[in-house]
Structure 1
Amino acid sequence: MKQFFHLFLAALIGGVAAAALVVGLNDGRPALASQASIAPAAAPLLVAQGSPAEELPAPLDLRPAARLAIPAVVHIKAFTKDRQREAVKALFSEKPPSRKPREGEGSGVIYTSGGYIVTNHHVVANATDITVTTTDRKTYPASLVGEDPKSDLAVLRIDGKDLPYLKLADSDAVEPGAWVLAVGNPFGLTSTVTAGIVSARGRSINLLSDLDAIESFLQTDAAVNPGNSGGALVTADGKLAGINTAIASQTGKFQGYSFAIPSNLVQRIADDIIAYGSYRRAFLGVEISTFTNSDQQRLGLNNRTEGVVIDAIFAGGSAAAAGLKVDDLIVRVGKRTIRDLPELTELIGRARVGETLKLTVVRNGSEVEVVVPLID
């Protein structure tokens, strides 16, 4: 009995001491009874079954990129006088034609601090007057330096100095899954920023009607709507990855897919327009198409699934001079693997007259390297 009493007394003393310690640690305040009311002392943990606990990564902060991009994106208004339509009306009326201008809106990206601006050709096509408004609400008359309808790019010039502009990203390094911002003026809502990821590269959506048009878009899910055309697609570190150009939509408004001209192609074309007034494009002098199952069977290339087939060669072109042949399958340019037509047209479009391209082609089942000097 005495032994039981001693044990009970020891337990009682221990319990009182523990309670006093808890009260002391809480600075005299009673200990909290509800676990739900306790503020977390550390970042939440993600615990996966069978693996050690890991801290959740901090959310990506895109505000610094937006701060860089917003001042470099402008609002463009393009005015067009529909003279032909007014002239037809005048034939059936004694009233003189009003020549009321039609107004279109879009976006543009300041390309240099001296006032060159890159936008889409379709934003300023056939415009008789163009005005540019910067984010500080200054309005400038703009002149058209040059345009290239086959890539849907144009360059404008305003009389500005020390203008903010974006550094160029290497669009070849912009991978699917990378965060991007779309900056522009949708529906006239100036300086609008939306976010998404790169969904795919090298997309062709048959937007441009010319057979030799260059379509190799970056596809994103950043929201783009009418008025965003010509605006900036920006990387998470605030560099220009592309020029927003089009959306895939059945309604005319954003439905989850938007497309931008990659910055490496933008730079190539814009630099030519600034230097020469037009894009000096190199041509292979071929008719080409993406490798298909029927090509695989026809050419007996059962171990091949990707590449671009040469369907025809034109006399006097680069391909003829280099010795390329009909039914050659182009599988690499330099060290870069060619999967389909958009990739190849972009690479050729970025090459300059006078440069050489090293093509790897499959001919009669074997790989052959062909050096092609590019002529215009």
Structure 2
Amino acid sequence: MRPAATLLALTCAAAFGGFAATALDGLLDNRAEANPAPAPVAPLAPAPAPLPREAVAAALPEAIDGQALPSLAPMLKQVMPAVVSVHTKQRVKVRNPFFDDPMFRRLFPQVPQERINESLGSGVIIDAARGYVLTNHHVIEGADDVSVTLADGRTLKAEFLGSDRDTDVALIRIPAENLAGLPLGDSGRLQVGDYVVAIGNPFGLNQTVTSGIVSAVGRSGIRGLGYQNFIQTDASINPGNSGGALVNLRGELVGINTASLNPQGSMAGNIGLGLAIPSNLARDVVQQLVTTGEVRRGTLGIDAQALDARLARSLGLAEGQQGALVTQVYAGSGAAAAGIRPGDVIIGAGDQRIADPFALHNFEGLQPVGERVPLQVLRDGKTLTLSATLREQPRALDGGAVDPRLAGARLAELPEAQRQARGRGGVLVEDVQPGSRAARNQLRPGDVIVATTAGPVADLPALRSSLAQAPQQLVLLVTRGNVQGRLLMQ
């Protein structure tokens, strides 16, 4: 029965495909050499001599059933020249108390008083004629010198045009000819399951390509990453990929790679949770940076808080209802014009579900000034649809315009990444003029004002509103580093 067993084994090998056949090939050959099979009962066609591995590889067909074998190579050949390496240098002063001593500096002039920090990221040429390169804000943040290395090996000094910390988008320009550009595609057409390819320079390895699918769209709720509407993909995105291209199979730029999620930290490598900034969002940011040099954002002009079980019951809402409970509507705001009232619960904005105030704030931050958006609102047990136009709010104010006791302090909106990391709002003290009233009241740059005598402070409009009628005694609740304390303003 050995011939029958041999035939059965060969049949199984064919059924399991090339991998199984390769694994069984050596085993069957060894058996044949050790134990020659007796003559078969029925005559069989003689088996062909096994081909060398090189011959097998060379014999693979170029097409199956008239269709060429799939390959990303033709698309990548067109796309990869537009993906560049971004190299930055930052001069950092070495903090050494001995440098304050002139005698020490004279005796040890060779001791360096500064060091150079270098980093490497990726970028994408989006306009070959103008030399525009799109990358991440965190790639070039704080850099004193930025250079770009092209796919053909040329290295060029880059000019900084502008960036937006809150969406992690930056635009630089290189003066070069014969560039290959990759125009921005429509990320709004992406669906979960679409194939995508990530191109960048992970760990300094130039022009590396990884592939995967779109795992999710509109991903948000990740602390410390600013305004969020990410494309999630399982294409490998590792350190150095930041600012690189995420393209679809048509070779269109649909995203800018920005981060990977790993509980062990980004340097631990990829685990299939990569995030990319949608090209439609990047397009809006680039347009504002090119035309005005900065990004302006709209706001509804409200304060809101999260729903809890007690509030839901008091409002007659179903158990577990989520949303942003409106606590204040500012006069002259887009929300006031739309008819939003305190006590309303916003449960939807545009085509997004709103689960809490942070989701609403994230939605606002991604809309341009003048955008008209539909809002789904719960009021008196009914669901209403209201339309509000987002209006611009100042991103920074002179403290003296808010209250004379804050004169000399420059107050700004809290960076969105910091807001997300803290899990709460506040107002950042961006600068304090020496000798000013704010300085005498012990305010320092970097302080975060989280409340005043009049109540909590979520953002600049909330601070202005709380101090619209100046309190006789002004006390600020301030976070400084990891310490929170109170300052009496005089």
Same fold by TM-score, threshold 0.5 exceeded? yes
Aligned counterpart, 1:106: 121
Distance in 2 (alpha carbons) for counterparts of 1:35 and 1:344:
70
Q: Is the 8 A contact 1:268 1:350 kept in 2?
A: no
Offset from partner CA, 1:168-211 (integer Å, 9 cap, x none) = 232222111111111110000011110111111222253437xx
Aligned counterpart, 1:123: 139
Distance in 1 (alpha carbons) for counterparts of 2:87 and 2:142:
12
Long gaps (5+) in structure 1: 1-29, 45-54
Alignment of 1:258-277 (within 5 A): 258-277=274-293
1:366 Cα offset (Å): 1.6
Aligned counterpart, 1:190: 206
1:262 Cα offset (Å): 1.1
Aligned counterpart, 1:76: 86
TM-score by length of 1: 0.75
Aligned counterpart, 1:200: 216
Offset from partner CA, 1:93-124 (integer Å, 9 cap, x none) = 42454433210111111121211111111111
Q: Is the 8 A contact 1:183 1:232 kept in 2?
A: yes
Q: Is the 8 A contact 1:65 1:234 kept in 2?
A: no
Q: Secondary structure at the match of 2:289?
A: helix
Which of 137, 143, 148 is residue 132 of structure 1 equivalent to?
148
Q: Is the 8 A contact 1:69 1:183 kept in 2?
A: no
Distance in 2 (alpha carbons) for counterparts of 1:286 and 1:135:
48
Q: Is the 8 A contact 2:309 2:320 kept in 1?
A: no
Distance in 1 (alpha carbons) for counterparts of 2:254 and 2:310:
36
Distance in 1 (alpha carbons) for counterparts of 2:331 and 2:291:
30
Aligned counterpart, 1:11: none
Q: Secondary structure at the match of 2:87?
A: strand
Aligned sequence identity (%): 37
1:247 to 2:260 alignment: yes
1:359 Cα offset (Å): 2.2
1:248 Cα offset (Å): 0.9
Distance in 2 (alpha carbons) for counterparts of 1:193 and 1:298:
55
Alignment of 1:305-324 (within 5 A): 308-310=324-326, 312-324=328-340
Which of 231, 238, 241 is residue 225 of structure 1 equivalent to?
238
1:82 is matched by which residue type in structure 2?
Answer: V
Alignment of 1:1-376 (within 5 A): 32=45, 61-83=71-93, 85-86=94-95, 88=97, 90-91=99-100, 93-94=104-105, 95-96=108-109, 97-113=112-128, 114-208=130-224, 213-249=226-262, 250-252=264-266, 253-287=269-303, 297=313, 299-302=315-318, 308-310=324-326, 312-334=328-350, 336-338=351-353, 340=355, 348-376=364-392
User: Relative to structure 1, is the Cα distance of residues 203 and 298 closer, same or farther in structure 2, using a 3 angstrom cutoff?
Assistant: farther
- The alignment's C-alpha RMSD in Å is 3.5
Residues paired across the two proteins, number: 329
Q: Secondary structure at the match of 2:76?
A: helix
Distance in 2 (alpha carbons) for counterparts of 1:170 and 1:313:
35
1:158 Cα offset (Å): 1.1
Distance in 2 (alpha carbons) for counterparts of 1:343 and 1:65:
37
Q: Is the 8 A contact 2:346 2:354 kept in 1?
A: no
Offset from partner CA, 1:268-315 (integer Å, 9 cap, x none) = 111101111111211222345777777755544439866555455445
Q: Is the 8 A contact 1:332 1:361 kept in 2?
A: yes
Q: Secondary structure at the match of 2:385?
A: strand
User: Relative to structure 1, is the Cα distance of residues 320 and 260 closer, same or farther in structure 2, using a 3 angstrom cutoff?
Assistant: same
Distance in 2 (alpha carbons) for counterparts of 1:290 and 1:230:
34
Higher relative contact order (CA 8 A, sep 6+): 1
TM-score by length of 2: 0.59
User: Relative to structure 1, is the Cα distance of residues 172 and 325 closer, same or farther in structure 2, using a 3 angstrom cutoff?
Assistant: farther
Offset from partner CA, 1:228-257 (integer Å, 9 cap, x none) = 111111112111111111111114221221
Q: Is the 8 A contact 2:88 2:145 kept in 1?
A: yes
Q: Secondary structure at the match of 1:321?
A: helix
1:276 is matched by which residue type in structure 2?
Answer: T
1:364 Cα offset (Å): 2.1
Distance in 2 (alpha carbons) for counterparts of 1:218 and 1:104:
25
User: Relative to structure 1, is the Cα distance of residues 282 and 339 closer, same or farther in structure 2, using a 3 angstrom cutoff?
Assistant: closer
Q: Is the 8 A contact 1:264 1:350 kept in 2?
A: no
Distance in 2 (alpha carbons) for counterparts of 1:305 and 1:238:
43
Long gaps (5+) in structure 2: 1-42, 51-58, 393-490
Aligned counterpart, 1:20: none
Q: Secondary structure at the match of 1:165?
A: coil
Distance in 2 (alpha carbons) for counterparts of 1:289 and 1:236:
43
1:373 Cα offset (Å): 2.0
2:249 is matched by which residue type in structure 1?
Answer: A
Q: Secondary structure at the match of 2:171?
A: strand
Distance in 1 (alpha carbons) for counterparts of 2:301 and 2:254:
29
